[in-house]
Amino acid sequence: HTHKSSLKDLEELVAKLKVLAEKISEYRETEEAMRSTLLSAQKMAKSMVAEAEEEKKQPFWSFWRKKHE
């Protein structure tokens, strides 16, 4: 290897590292968005379960009236 080809190889490796670093950053952002979405879905599911538990305690007709008002 000559000095010029070694320098070119090094520049190519640096460019590849930059691309990889950008990809890692994108993956981290995607992971954070997915984590946030999952947390929101878990909160919504918990709320829906709590609401269903409360509705289960109500007599049927009061539940029916509430849904048809």
Neighbouring C-alpha atoms within 13 Å toward the C-beta of 41: 6
Residues of the chain with pLDDT > 70: what percent? 91
What's the mean pLDDT in 10-33? 98
Q: How many residues does the chain have?
A: 69
**Taking the model in full, what pTM does it have?**
0.60
Quickly state the pLDDT bin for 50 (edges 50, 70, 90). very high
Task: Assess contact for 55 and 63: CB atoms under 8 A.
Answer: yes
- 59 falls in which pLDDT band (50, 70, 90)? confident
Question: With contact defined as beta carbons under 8 Å apart, do 32 and 40 qualify?
Answer: no
Report how far residue 3's alpha carbon sits from residue 5's, in angstroms, rounded to the nearest whole number. Answer: 6
Query: How much is the pLDDT for 36?
Result: 98
Residue 46 half-sphere exposure, CB side, CA atoms within 13 Å?
6
The pLDDT assigned to 12 comes to 97
Residue 40 is predicted with a pLDDT of: 98
What the block records as the tokens of 16 is 């590849």
